[in-house]
Each structure stands twice: as structure tokens, then as C-alpha cells.
Structure 1
């Protein structure tokens, strides 16, 4: 009988689950992670057309989302930190055998890990959503380590505040204060706080230097760890070590300033198709758009075959018009390009013709009349039919003007190929000048 009892004793005694595991599985922490994931999903889901198809825009939006997510993580930690006060179990925990730091970390680490995991999960889903439409380059993961540490650090610092401040309003007030602090103060480029903000606004063409995410992680993580040690460690002087590391990292970030960021090398290159006249060049980041752009402009390039005085190419580089014309911009994503496709090829072609004309700041009626005529022949505006109909049913003067316009269009279309090429060559010779001298009347 004794042998049977002894044989059953090990199975009858069940080990109590570790406190960290209990907090991570059944406590508040999973809900905090879910809240971060849901918030990020709502933020990105509402603006999907503006980042899907552009790795740079996806990375920039994920980083800028910290403006909301960091205060949310801090508020989650703060709410968790005030749990024992709300339950009136502070004295019970104070009488526990384990050291204060161990008890603090058992409660704080699961929340910090969950909010970081929620952010990483949302980032992974956003990258997967971008991938089918991505045009060039590759996923930009450089900022994720620093951003993830910032999320966990905000939760840890919030937990300390929740333990110290005896009010249920601490969490919502911390969220509001965090949003104001991240959203207002660091957005002044001349201020030191600009580079210290984990939610600094960046452009979709900007990349961090290789050590910036590490320095940002030391800055935010050092501050959070210093707060934890100052609150819960037996030897509070140990908080000086992470604080010194945070100050060193922050000093490095501030002194480097704008040198922390550089432009994507692809954004300074052009990818060209020289089989047309003019040639068509797009930014190397969007090289995948070149076939679509060529197709959209094919009606123009076919009609311009043999025409002289044209620029050598369309491109999106800054500069004059002597040998090139500005291609209509494809950025920001969500306007001309949506999820890897040109949103309105006809509008894009019309804008490309306007760039060839080179009369952007000219208000000479004769020049404007010729511009409209050439645009109608090469790539009419999508709104042209609407305005034609308005003029046909407008005042007597408008109807007469519309008849003259349609007659000129008909004469240009009825020309022989050689005559039309000569007329268009004379017209394009006026590009960049606000006059129509040398262009034969129709």
C-alpha cells in the first residue's frame, strides 16, 4: 500500500506554472498585443492604396505608426502596473519572498513582449500585403529592430509609472501625453528632440545609416531599463549604467542629425527604354512600371515618329527642358499609381504631352490654342469631351469658338504624314518660349 502511494506521489504533485508564463498566457498582456495589432491594422488598412506597391512607403508608414503605437504601449504598461493597486493586493505582493525586481519583471515582461510581438506581426502582414504589388528594390527592414525595442521600452516605462502614480487615470493621461510629445515637439527639424523621437517622420526614399536602429534601441531601451532599476532594484545605483548608455546613444543621435539618413541609391538612378522617341525613363525604384508607362505613351510616340525638335527623353529628374521633358510623377503612391498599376493611363499620357510642350507658365492665347490642338491630336485630356459639350451648348461666342477649334483639329488630322510632321516640328521648336512664331496657321 505504501509502495502504491509513493508511486503515485510524483504524478499527484503538479508544478505550479511559472508566474511569467501565467501572465503571458492568461493575463492582460495578450490583450495589449492584440490592441497594438488591431490599431496598426486600422491605421494601415485605411491607407492601403498609399503604401501597397512601394517598399519605401510601407516602411515609412510602419515607422510613423509609432506616433500612435508607442503611447498605446506605454498606456498598456501603465494599466498593468496599476493592477495590484486596483485589486488591493499590494501588501500581499510586498510580503512575497521573491525580490522586488523579479516580481516587477514577472508582471512587466509579458506585456512588453506582447506589444512588441503585436507590432512585429502587423509589420509582417503589411510587408506581405505590399509584396504582390512591389515595383522595385526590396523590403526595408532596417528600422524594425529599433522600432520594436521602442515599443517594448514604452511598455516597461509605463509599467513603472503605473506603479508610482496612484490613479486610474494614469494610463489614459500617459497615452495623451505621449501622443502630444511624439506628435508635436519632435516635428521641429531644428530641435534636438527631432532625432531622438522613435516616431520621427521619414520619407519613402530615406534609409537610415546602418547603426541608427541600434543607437535608437540603446536610447529608448536604456531609458526604460534605467527607470525599472531605479524603481525595483535593490541597488538602485545600477540604474546609472543603462542611463549612461542611453545618454551616450542620444548624444550620438543628436550630434549626427540629418546624417542619420540618406537617400535610397535607386532613387538617383533612371531605367530607360530607348526604343521610342523620345526615350522613356523612370526612377529605378519603379522600374517595374516602365512597360506600363511605355504602353500608356505608345499612342504619343507612334504619332511623333519622324518629328524633329523633340527632347531626347522623358524622365523624372530635376532640371531644365533642353534635352529632356519631365515625366508625370508616379509618387506619392496612391495617386497616379495604385497597387502597382497606373490609375489613369489617359490622364498620364495627357500630362506627358503637356511636359513636351514646355509652355507651363505661358498665357499667350495663340500658344494656348496650339497647345490644346496638339494635346487633342496626341493625347486628349479625359475631360476634353465634357468641355467640348459645354461649349457646343454655351453662348453664341462659345459655340463659334468651338466650331473654329473643331475645324483646326480636322485640318491637322487631314494633313498628310509629311505635312503633319513638318507642322509638329515647327510647333515643338517653340517649346520653352512663350510665342508661336514660326508655327504655320491651320
Structure 2
């Protein structure tokens, strides 16, 4: 322990850990909205940031690996009776300990941000994803130690850092999905939907390859000659072969898999019913009054929806599930603190298509007609979607101008007739029929 303490003070281990924490926490807090939804989003985002942290650990290990050459004590140490491996273990331990703790500190900084809002905690899955991320960081450092000792040039560390970035990036985007999942720690970590996870079988195959990489780095670091260095490749080959053999081949498992428990709906006990996914359970209280306001507006229509559900479809993976006509769905977004983002958009988004969901198969919609009808129900003049619909940054001004004109035409009609026209628009949307010409003044 005394020797380990000396290594912690005198080696590059603490410096590498400090850089890891600073860059990791900084990257997290620059874009908190990417992972504020919950625990798995946090774990995957940190894994994604290994695109930066993994090459840094590789370079730090290489810098530390050339210490004996830099101090010109290599020949002196070879004359001692102490075995080479015994001399190297404190360095290996210091790098592994500090970088693993650094990874956990980055994770802890993220947990501190979401601890009061995140509710759904898949403990085993979260621990596995986090543990494999820490293991991959240790593997990078140990591989760097081995390469740095074998090639103790000043340029080795920066060259390995650059090579690490290229290796991780191109492995993730160029290799087949199943191969990338077994070899690179960032595969499948980019969050595309709130219910996303990383399958434990994928994490298991990656853990095998990272452990093999770590053992190879260790053997390279303690090897005394070319035979030892050649033998160091054996665990790497065996580990990568095993990882490739056991990694799943199913695209639904490899890319953006869904945690079914996170997607389960939790609902209000009273009616009108409002439901959100379990991962968004903390938003139910804030969403409920807004959702019920939207249902009250839609209740002017005959056979109007009587419940609001979060849209839990995972469109990126093609997992789309239909809902009944009595349910209107809404996409839920979280803000940087894990709360309900864009609350002012909830009611307009619920009424936008008169409570009719959009499944991508019906192409007979008309934005102008739908907007005029929706705003007539809301009792206010139509507005551009820019500034209301999240993510909308541009819209042809003519769309809203035409919607205002049709809305004014509805207002000139008796209420019963105007309601009948709006109802006809909704019926057409439900039947995937053409809505053009259903409002007074619209083109036929």
C-alpha cells in the first residue's frame, strides 16, 4: 500500500484521473438536456463520451509507460533482484484505481443532477453499463502503458491519443453493428429515445474484449523481451474472438433497444385519464392539468378522445404501436433539469390535428385546414408553429396567413355549422380522406 501511495503521488495516474473528471463532467454539464430524462440516458451518455475519454486514457498510459526510459533507469532496474512484474504492479494498480474512480465520479456528478427527478432506475442494467465503461477506460490505460514502454518515444503518447480517437470513431461508424458492439465502447450509446437501453448481452461481449485488451496491455508492460511481447497478443486474439462469437446479431438488440419497463404507462387514478411512460413518471403531475385542458377543448367534438397518453413509439427503430380513437397521444420532452419542457406547447399539440394521431401512412392532411379548425376549437387566432412546436425553426408565412383566413370564415358561421365543419375535418382525418374544401373559403 505504501508503494501504491507513492505511485499515486509521483505517477501520471492522478493527473489522468483529474483530466478525465474535468472533461467528463464538463461534457455532461454542457448538454444536460441529452441525459436529464433519467438513469440509463446518463449512463449511455457517459459511455458516448468515451469517444474523448478513451483516447485520453490511452495517451496517459503511454506517457506513464515511458517513465523508465525518460529517467534513464531501465538498465539499473534490470540489475535488481526484484521481479519485473512485481515492480510494475503498483503502476498498473494506480492507473486502474484512479481512472475507475474518475469514471465513477463523472457518473456521480450526473446522478447529483437528476437524483430529484429521475424515477425509473434499472439498477442492474445501469450498473453493467457503467461498470463496462469504467473497465474500458482501465483497458485503454493499460494498453497505453504497454505500448508506451515498448515504444518510449516522446511522440508515442500524442500519436496514440489521435489514433485512439480515430479508432473509436471509425469502429463505431464503419464496422458492421454486431462487430462494432463487440469492439468499441461507444456503440449504441447515443440516446435516440427515452426508453433506450444497452442490452446486457452486448455489454457482456464488450466486457470480454475490453478485459482481453487490458490483459494484453498488462503483459506488454511487464514483458522483458520479444517473446513476452508476442505472447501478450494471445489473450487479445482469444478475447476478441470470444467477444465476436457471443455478441448478438439481432439489429433490435444492437441498435436502440427498448427497455419495456421504462416504456410502461403510469396513469392518473382519476379521470380524464392521463398517462406517461414510467421513465417520465415525475412529469405526470405537471402534464395532467395541461392535458385535461386539451381534452376539454376537444370535448366540443362528438366522440372526442377521453384520455391522453404519452406517445411511446420508438420511430427510430420502427416500433410503432397504434392507439384507439378515444386516446390522443403527445410527445413528451424533458428540460435540462428533468422537468416538463415546453409546457405552453402541450395544449396546441394535443388539439393540433383535432386529436387524431399521425402514423405516417396517411398523406391526405392539410396543415392550413387543420390549423384553422384546431384554433377555432381553442377560441383564438391561429399562430405559426415556430416558437410553439418544439424544434420548429422555420415555416412558410403563407401557411399561417391562409389558416387565419379560414379561421375567420369559421367565425362568421353560426356555431353549430362551424362545429359541423370542424367535425367533418376530424372525420376525414380519421378516415385518411382528403380534408381540402371542408372549411368555408378553402380550395377544392
TM-score interval, normalised by the smaller of the two chains: 0.7 to 0.9
Residue 266 of structure 2 corresponds to which residue in structure 1?
A: 271
Please give the alpha-carbon distance, in whole angstroms, between the structure 2 residues aligned to 1:194 and 1:400. Answer: 50
Please give the alpha-carbon distance, in whole angstroms, between the structure 1 residues aligned to 2:352 and 2:280. Answer: 22
- Kindly indicate whether the alpha-carbon contact (under 8 Å) linking 1:276 and 1:301 is maintained by their aligned counterparts in 2: no
Residues 80-125 of structure 1, C-alpha deviations (whole Å, 9 max, x = no match): 0112222222222222321111222222321222112111111122
Aligned pair 1:161/2:161, yes or no?
A: no
The alpha-carbon distance between structure 1 residues 266 and 157, as it changes in their structure 2 partners (threshold 3 A), is same
Please give the alpha-carbon distance, in whole angstroms, between the structure 2 residues aligned to 1:342 and 1:350. Answer: 15
User: How much does 1:166 deviate?
Assistant: 3.0
Aligned equivalent of 2:110, options 126, 130, 135? 126
Aligned length: 407
Aligned pair 1:193/2:191, yes or no?
A: no
- Kindly indicate whether the alpha-carbon contact (under 8 Å) linking 1:74 and 1:158 is maintained by their aligned counterparts in 2: yes
The alpha-carbon distance between structure 1 residues 186 and 79, as it changes in their structure 2 partners (threshold 3 A), is same
State which drifts further: 67-76 or 232-241.
Answer: 232-241
| Cα RMSD, aligned residues only | 3.8
Please give the alpha-carbon distance, in whole angstroms, between the structure 1 residues aligned to 2:220 and 2:441. Answer: 85
User: How much does 1:25 deviate?
Assistant: 3.0
Please give the alpha-carbon distance, in whole angstroms, between the structure 2 residues aligned to 1:26 and 1:200. Answer: 35
Aligned pair 1:224/2:221, yes or no?
A: no
State which drifts further: 314-323 or 376-385.
Answer: 376-385
State which drifts further: 43-52 or 81-90.
Answer: 81-90
- Kindly indicate whether the alpha-carbon contact (under 8 Å) linking 1:145 and 1:213 is maintained by their aligned counterparts in 2: no
User: How much does 1:329 deviate?
Assistant: 1.7
The alpha-carbon distance between structure 1 residues 423 and 251, as it changes in their structure 2 partners (threshold 3 A), is closer
The alpha-carbon distance between structure 1 residues 136 and 440, as it changes in their structure 2 partners (threshold 3 A), is farther
The alpha-carbon distance between structure 1 residues 378 and 267, as it changes in their structure 2 partners (threshold 3 A), is farther
Aligned equivalent of 1:111, options 46, 71, 95? 95
The alpha-carbon distance between structure 1 residues 257 and 305, as it changes in their structure 2 partners (threshold 3 A), is closer
TM-score, with normalisation over the residues of structure 2? 0.77
Aligned equivalent of 1:346, options 324, 344, 347? 344
Residue 3 of structure 1 corresponds to which residue in structure 2?
A: none
Aligned pair 1:83/2:67, yes or no?
A: yes
Structure with max Cα Rg: 1
The alpha-carbon distance between structure 1 residues 399 and 181, as it changes in their structure 2 partners (threshold 3 A), is closer
Please give the alpha-carbon distance, in whole angstroms, between the structure 1 residues aligned to 2:157 and 2:294. Answer: 61
User: How much does 1:208 deviate?
Assistant: 3.8
The alpha-carbon distance between structure 1 residues 173 and 311, as it changes in their structure 2 partners (threshold 3 A), is same
Ranges in structure 1 where 5+ consecutive residues have no aligned partner: 1-16, 388-393
User: How much does 1:276 deviate?
Assistant: 5.2
Please give the alpha-carbon distance, in whole angstroms, between the structure 2 residues aligned to 1:271 and 1:295. Answer: 16
- Kindly indicate whether the alpha-carbon contact (under 8 Å) linking 2:88 and 2:221 is maintained by their aligned counterparts in 1: no
Structure 1 SS opposite 2:301: coil
Residue 98 of structure 1 corresponds to which residue in structure 2?
A: 82
- Kindly indicate whether the alpha-carbon contact (under 8 Å) linking 1:311 and 1:321 is maintained by their aligned counterparts in 2: no
User: How much does 1:131 deviate?
Assistant: 1.3
The alpha-carbon distance between structure 1 residues 424 and 70, as it changes in their structure 2 partners (threshold 3 A), is same
Please give the alpha-carbon distance, in whole angstroms, between the structure 2 residues aligned to 1:30 and 1:244. Answer: 31
Residue 293 of structure 1 corresponds to which residue in structure 2?
A: 287
Residue 171 of structure 1 corresponds to which residue in structure 2?
A: 157
Residue 276 of structure 2 corresponds to which residue in structure 1?
A: 282
